[in-house]
Homo-oligomer: A and B are copies of this chain.
């Protein structure tokens, strides 16, 4: 699929505790042209979860049908439940010129780039490792073992920051959101994405 002159696919990854969900929520609020890719799952909705908002909830049969029709950008099975990123909604949004945010693990980000080479990737980092450690401890919801395990994973993930196009630091939320908005704006102004517009200007 050629993303040129269409919307952008924006892959966002971050270690746990870097506030990526808040950043993505603010991006959507700030720019109507920013949409988030919604995952599909076969697990039952939890209280407060709505179909088409938190997930697309579906049956195992339907999910497996989608797999066989190459309908997922990527999918995984945790225990008995499937989780996947449906291609259709992403492609529809991009064709309409929207930028689609895809929140994905570091491991999955590389695979997405193979399928959509024009995707841009953003890695959100904490202002420092010690600040990340402080944030995770302040949540107060996890055991010390869990926190240590998360910090270990975070360190491994941060070592892979070089695989991303852009690095954004979430120290101040507003600044972080503005950084990502600037990245999206700048990417849309690249010549490759402006080619048709340049032609129109010359001929009008």
- The chain A residues found within 8 Å of chain B, CB to CB, are 123, 125-130, 155, 158-159, 161-162, 164-169, 179, 181-183, 185-187, 189-191, 194-195, 197-198, 200-204
Decide if B191 touches A182 in the complex (CB within 8 Å): no
Decide if A165 touches B182 in the complex (CB within 8 Å): no
Closest B-chain residue to A167, C-beta based? B194
Q: A155-B202, A161-B198, A167-B191 are in contact. List 18 more A-B contacts (CB 8 A).
A: A123-B191, A125-B201, A127-B201, A128-B201, A128-B204, A129-B202, A129-B203, A158-B201, A162-B191, A165-B191, A166-B189, A167-B189, A167-B197, A168-B189, A169-B197, A183-B186, A183-B189, A186-B186
In the assembled complex, the Cα of A162 lies from the Cα of B4 at a distance in Å of 14
Decide if A191 touches B161 in the complex (CB within 8 Å): yes
Closest B-chain residue to A162, C-beta based? B191
Partner of A201, one of B126, B164, B189, B202: B126
Closest B-chain residue to A127, C-beta based? B201
In the assembled complex, the Cα of A129 lies from the Cα of B198 at a distance in Å of 10
Contacts of A204 in B (CB 8 A): 128-130
Decide if B202 touches A190 in the complex (CB within 8 Å): no
> Known: A198-B125, A201-B125. Is A166-B185 also a contact (CB below 8 A)?
no
16 intermolecular pairs with C-beta atoms under 8 Å apart: A125-B201, A127-B201, A158-B201, A158-B202, A161-B198, A162-B198, A165-B190, A166-B190, A167-B190, A167-B198, A169-B197, A179-B185, A181-B182, A182-B182, A182-B183, A185-B186
